[in-house]
Amino acid sequence: MAMNLDDLSDDPDHDLHSPAERAAAASRSTWVSVAVNLVLSITQIAVGIVARSQALIADGLHSLSDLVADFVVLLASHHSQKDADADHPYGHQRFETAASLVLGLLLLAVGAGMLWSAARKLESPETIETVQVMALWVAGAALVGKELLFRYMLAVAKRVKSSMLVANAWHARSDAASSLVVGIGIIGNLAGYPILDPIAAAIVGFMVARMGWSFSWDALHDLMDRAIDEQEVEAIRRTLAETPGVRNVHDVRTRKMGDLIVVDAHIEVDAHISVEAGHDIAVAARQRVLQRHRVLNLMTHVDPWHRPDLDHARPGPGSH
């Protein structure tokens, strides 16, 4: 099951990394992925053709799609670290969300293509050939390589808390799972059941398409200003409420901006203090939230708070 950003740390006050650090980590891990996928895609497609394994060719095409995905990640990582400007006053963090959407659509397209190719092969089972044993060795090597790549990339994603890197890491895990299925299909083909090779290719296609749909759907919701999970909202509310001078907090609203958060909140301060004092409390509350949480910006609205005992004692408008 794929992991999203909210699963990267159980602590909502987890240490945050600067945009430059996150971009550097993304670049390093992605270039490692480029190297691995380049070698695997060339090897899988070449051996798949020679060994007559449709499943191995499909897996090679999957690895090839990863190369495109890796370059999408590199491009998004470069743009997302740009400073805010007049056209993008909140910065460019949503480039990462857009990259996750592109990755998902790419996976969806590749998976659909695999399913179509496997279906055509299954319509004519007499055309299915027996694969050569070298295909099995390549599938096994690909499985090990992709699993190691997944573990490395996910560790980097956890460290810098990047949903884009999480998406790319699980893309690598989908490759490892597909290589496992391909290996099983090849073993079945070698055991005298040739139809298992295109069936394995179809399963790989379904897995890829399903993961693509998941990533696309999540990214689309984030682009539509989806709120963060309630646990993190409560942690932000608690930080605001614990600020000296804040009497109450309500109407906390959040929306994602890439891997960061934009927050709107109403804080209540003593109605009898000066406007300047109320402003200072709001500034302190904002600073505390920005320091403790992955919040890009916090907009506070200051409301007056009246002591209940004074409110009861104060005469009404018609009293003398």
pLDDT tens-digit profile of 57-104? 888 877 877 777 777 766 766 666 666 667 766 666 677 777 778 878
Predicted confidence band of residue 294 (pLDDT cuts 50, 70, 90): confident
Sequence-ordered alpha helix ranges (H) in 82-195: 94-123, 134-160, 163-190
Mean pLDDT score of the chain: 80
Task: Look at 133 and 311; give whichever has higher pLDDT.
Answer: 133
**Beta-ladder partners of 257:** 260
Task: Look at 162 and 279; give whichever has higher pLDDT.
Answer: 279
* Segment 21-31, tens digit of pLDDT: 766 777 788 78
Q: Do residues 99 and 45 lie in contact, with contact meaning Cβ atoms separated by under 8 Å? A: no
Q: Do residues 100 and 164 lie in contact, with contact meaning Cβ atoms separated by under 8 Å? A: yes
Total length of the chain: 320
Neighbours of 96 (CB within 10 A): 28
Neighbours of 86 (CB within 10 A): 5
Average confidence (pLDDT) over 210-239: 85
Task: Look at 14 and 177; give whichever has higher pLDDT.
Answer: 177
Residues 6+ apart with CB under 8 A from 29: 152, 153, 156, 157, 165, 168
Task: Look at 128 and 304; give whichever has higher pLDDT.
Answer: 304
CA contacts within 13 A on the Cβ side of 294: 27
The CA-CA-CA angle for residues 55, 58, 61, to 5°, reads 155
* Segment 166-206, tens digit of pLDDT: 777 877 777 787 788 889 989 998 888 888 888 888 887 88
Alpha-carbon Rg of the chain, whole angstroms? 26
Predicted confidence band of residue 320 (pLDDT cuts 50, 70, 90): very low
Task: Look at 277 and 257; give whichever has higher pLDDT.
Answer: 277
Fold of 5-223: Alpha-lytic protease prodomain-like (1.20.1510)
Q: What is the CATH number of domain 230-313?
A: 3.30.70.1350
Three-state DSSP at 270 gives: strand
Please state, in angstroms and rounded to a whole number, the distance separating the CA atoms of residues 37 and 29: 12
Q: Which of 35-39, 92-96, 143-147 has the lowest mean pLDDT?
A: 92-96
Please state, in angstroms and rounded to a whole number, the distance separating the CA atoms of residues 69 and 168: 8
* Segment 262-286, tens digit of pLDDT: 899 999 999 989 999 999 999 999 9
Predicted confidence band of residue 4 (pLDDT cuts 50, 70, 90): very low
Q: What's the DSSP call for residue 235?
A: H
3-state helix, strand, coil in the chain (%, to 5): 65, 10, 20
For the chain, residues classed under CATH 3.30.70.1350 are 230-313
3-state SS of 174-186 is HHHHHHHHHHHHH
Q: Pick the closest to residue 267 from 224, 297, 228, 302 (CA basis).
A: 302
For the chain, residues classed under CATH 1.20.1510.10 are 5-223
